[in-house]
């Protein structure tokens, strides 16, 4: 799968609801995701924030991408819904954590 179009954002969001979160590897993200001027990354991240769904993005070497993308990843290092990881193991571990603070209080 290569996510490369705005029309696919809602499909990915739907998958996230079904799976209790979504993990996307670098190979799953098309060129348009990494070109922030397309707005695709922003739309994806905004939808996952709006719907409070967890999204783990696996990018093994952020240094090979643009500085704005590196800054975006840094800004999301402690985000509740969206985080960037260096490997799949870290991303899956985060997705498996409790995502709702209210669940901890129950």
Query: Is 80 inside any structural domain?
Result: yes
Residue that wins the pLDDT comparison between 1 and 102 = 1
CA-nearest of 29, 28, 33 to 43 is: 33
Our count of domains for the chain comes to 1
Query: Is 77 inside any structural domain?
Result: yes
Query: Is 1 inside any structural domain?
Result: no
- In which band, very low, low, confident or very high, does the pLDDT at 68 lie, cut at 50, 70 and 90? very high
Query: Is 79 inside any structural domain?
Result: yes
Strand arrangement, sheet containing 55-58: 22-25, 55-58, 82-85
Helices (H), 9-100: 9-19, 31-34, 40-50, 67-75, 88-96
The mean of the pLDDT values for the chain is: 89
The domain of 52 spans 6-105
pTM of the model: 0.87
Q: What is the predicted pLDDT for the residue at 6?
A: 81
Query: Is 16 inside any structural domain?
Result: yes
Q: What is the predicted pLDDT for the residue at 2?
A: 59
d(CA 93, CA 29): 20
Q: Given CA atoms 75, 77, 83, 85 in this order, what sign does their dihedral have?
A: positive
Query: Is 66 inside any structural domain?
Result: yes
d(CA 19, CA 16): 5
Query: Is 10 inside any structural domain?
Result: yes
């Amino acid at each position: 799968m290569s996510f490369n179009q705005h029309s696919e954002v809602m499909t990915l969001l739907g998958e996230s609801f079904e799976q209790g979160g979504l993990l996307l590897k670098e190979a799953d993200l098309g060129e348009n995701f990494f070109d922030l001027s397309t707005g695709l990354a922003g739309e994806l991240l905004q939808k996952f924030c709006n719907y409070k769904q967890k999204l783990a993005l696996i990018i093994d070497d952020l240094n090979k991408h643009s500085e704005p993308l590196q800054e975006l990843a840094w800004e999301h290092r402690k985000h509740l819904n969206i985080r960037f990881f260096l490997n799949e193991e870290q991303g899956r571990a985060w997705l498996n954590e409790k995502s709702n603070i209210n669940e901890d209080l129950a």
